[in-house]
Structure 1
Amino acid sequence: MAGSPTETNLQSPLLERVPKRPRRLASVVVTTLVDRIVSGDLPPGAPLPPEPVLCETFDVSRTTVREAVKVLEEKGLVRARQGSGTSVTEEDDWNLLDPMVLSATVRYDDELRVLDQLVEVRRALESQMAAQAALAATDADLREIEAVLERLTAQTRIPEMFVETDVAFHDRVMTASGNRLGRAIVRTVHAEARTSLRYTGHPRPEDCELSNLGHAQVYRCLLDRDADGAASAMSAHILDAWRRRRPVPRPS
């Protein structure tokens, strides 16, 4: 007996033959130009190469180049002016919450200024959210945070596992705060920062143990519903952890 129309559609071999969409050519242009701009090869005020040059360089159409330039404008890296072409913007105009821009900025941040600023942003926002969590966390939230803390305690001798669970601990505290916007901002900047070894470092078991003392202090303040204490503990924990792993800046 033939299957129902729904079953036939779900099992159709045509679904397996749908080709994957090729990587958009504009993304190659964007990635290359973001790197050139952030690295300083194309400094602020410099004109972007004209369309014919970009078309020849990347072997793409004018339509693809225009699409790429539009994306660069959305990232705040270039500005197009009627009659004067497209030029690179000042660094203050760059959208550092854009993952591609932030990743490239961290990569070329020889003096670690952006990473220092990122840690300060994390410290300010997560401290506030820890205070909010101390007042807003439900009993279920606290049990889940405790469970993550127990995993961390068991993993202090296994740094590669500890650092992943560390992210989960911070995220669980932020979730308990109810501050969705603050959590989204921290998750965005932290995800890109963690792709850099200069940010994550090479933690040793003793580093993990020290870091976990900070986690435990935050948790105790949450249990006590001590908003000021939770904020202070989270602030100290984030700053101390960064000071331990912060590398020596590269000489300029």
Structure 2
Amino acid sequence: MNAQTRDKRHTAIAAAVEERILGGELPVGEKLPSESELAREFGVSTRTVREAVQILETKGLVRRRHGERTSVVRADVGEFLETLAVTVRQLLRTNPRYLMEVMIVRRMIESDVIDLLLSGGNLDLSKAEAALADMRRAGDMKDYARFTEADAAFHQALVDAAGNGVLSIVYNNLHGLVTEVIRVTSSVPTKSYDAAYAEHVDIYNKIRAGDLDRAKSLMRAHINNSAEYLKVAIEKSKAEDRT
């Protein structure tokens, strides 16, 4: 069998097993049939099966451990994204540049969320209003940790209010990363609680008023502003490490 034929066969086998996983035939925690069993089922060599399993492992659908049968580790988008968020957190530990990349992702998601918010019917911003109230109280008390949590909760509330379940899952699994970015940017002394709170109120008021263009502009400006503070925080951290 030439390499091109084997490539097509192991790709087809990977697709067939993936369908079983996503369809629930092979649930999370289930062991895959052995390589020899799969080889007999599909009429291929164990090498071809091994290459197919490698594809599934790369996609994060199965896990191989030495001396054990390959097992299914996740079967839905929520679990997949949770693992993705862990991977990004690991990147953040090795290179602070990834924090800036998180900000770019935030800007892309949150500006487009406003389109969804204002194109829908019943707009429920009660959770965003509650988060704003928490921000106000935390700012008055100079409660840094609570302010950071309320800030992140405001943005999560806007995403949830858009009514897109998949988008909520994506953003929810990045919530910890967003909170970490907010925590870092809020630690820069030149950014006051009042200024941060006012930015959020302005965004909320424009959304409530149905001013799409202005709301999106304010959201992008807010995140860009946070990114600038983040750069200052990163440079400050680097300077402290050098001393």
Q: TM-score, normalised by structure 1?
A: 0.54
Any conservation in 2 of the 1:175–1:183 contact (CA below 8 Å)? yes
Residues 113, 158 of structure 2: 8 Å contact kept: yes
- Which 10-residue stretch deviates more, 178-187 or 154-163? 178-187
Query: Is the 2:111–2:220 Cα contact (8 Å) retained in structure 1?
Result: yes
SS class of match (2:229): helix
* Equivalent-residue separation in structure 2 for 1:212 and 1:173 (angstroms): 15
Which residue pairs with 2:173 in the alignment? 188
Cα distance in 1, alignment partners of residues 178 and 125 from structure 2: 28
Alpha carbons of structure 1 residues 136 and 196: separation in structure 2 relative to 1, 3 Å: closer
Counterpart of 1:162?
147
Task: Show the counterpart of 1:62.
Answer: 66
**Matched residues in 2 for 1:206 and 1:194: separation?**
16
Deviation at 1:193, TM superposition (A): 5.5
Alignment gaps of 5+ in structure 2:
1-64, 74-80
Aligned residue type for 1:127? S
Aligned-pair distance for 1:233? 1.4
Shift of 1:119: 0.6
Offset of 1:182 from its aligned partner?
A: 2.6
What amino acid maps onto 1:241 in structure 2? S
Distance 1:137 1:209 in 2: 32
1:185: Cα distance to partner?
Answer: 2.1
Q: How far apart, CA to CA, are the structure 1 residues paired with 2:130 and 2:225? A: 23
Alignment of 1:91-170 (within 5 A): 98-109=84-95, 112-136=96-120, 138=122, 141-156=124-139, 157-170=142-155
Task: Between 236-245 and 192-201, report the one with greater CA deviation.
Answer: 192-201
Give me the CA root mean square deviation: 3.5
User: Greater RCO between the two (CA within 8 Å, min separation 6)?
Assistant: 1
* SS across alignment from 1:134: helix
Q: CA deviation at 1:164?
A: 0.6
Q: Aligned AA for 1:149?
A: L
Deviates more, 1:188-197 or 1:114-123: 188-197
Shift of 1:200: 5.4
TM-score (normalised: structure 2)? 0.56
**Mapped partners of 2:99, 2:107: distance in 1:** 12
Task: Give the whole-Å Cα distance in 1 for the aligned partners of 2:228 and 2:82.
Answer: 23
Count of aligned pairs: 165
Shift of residue 117, structure 1, vs aligned partner: 1.3
Question: Distance in 2 between the 1:183 and 1:142 partners?
Answer: 15
Shift of 1:163: 0.6
1:220 aligned residue (205, 215, 225): 205
Q: For residues 204 and 119 of structure 1, what CA distance do their matches in structure 2 show?
A: 20
Asked if residue 244 in structure 1 is aligned to residue 217 in structure 2, the reply is no
